Amino acid sequence: MSAQPARARQRFPLQRALNAAILVIASLIGLGSFFYPFFLPQSSEQFNAMAHTQDAPLLFVVLVILCLGAVLSSLSGGVMNAKLIAVLGILTAANAVLRGVPGPAGFTLIFLLPIVCGYAYGPTFGFLLGVFSLAVSAFLGFGVGPWLPYQMFSAGWVGLLSGLLPRLEGHPRAEALMLATWGLALGFTFGILMNLWFWPYVFSAGQSEMYWEPGLDLVDALERYGVFYAFTSFWWDLLRAAGNFVLLLIFAAPVLRLLRRFQHRFFFEVRSARTDPTPM
Ordered by start, the domain boundaries in the chain are: 3-266
For the chain, what is the mean pLDDT? Answer: 85
In one-letter notation, the amino acid at residue 214 is P
Give the helix/strand (H/E) hosting 192. Answer: helix 172-194
Give the helix/strand (H/E) hosting 112. Answer: helix 112-121
Contacts of 4 (CB under 8 A, 6+ apart): 267, 268, 269
Quote the pTM value. Answer: 0.86
Give the span between the Cα atoms of 168 and 162, in whole angstroms: 13
Give the span between the Cα atoms of 186 and 250, in whole angstroms: 17
List average pLDDT for each run of 10 residues in the chain, which is 280 residues long: 48 76 95 89 56 84 95 80 89 92 84 96 95 94 88 96 92 94 96 92 73 86 93 93 96 93 62 46
Instruction: Give the relative orientation of helices 123-137 and 112-121 as an angle to the nearest 10 degrees.
Output: 150
Report the SS3 class of residue 3: helix
Q: What is the pLDDT of residue 46?
A: 52
**What tens digit of pLDDT does each residue of 11-40 get?**
557 777 888 899 999 999 999 999 988 887
Give the span between the Cα atoms of 34 and 53, in whole angstroms: 14
Q: Which of 197, 111, 199 is nearest to 161 (CA)?
A: 111
Q: Report whether 237 contacts 183 (CB < 8 A).
A: no
Q: Which of 192, 137, 153 is nearest to 62 (CA)?
A: 153
Q: What is the pLDDT of residue 270?
A: 38
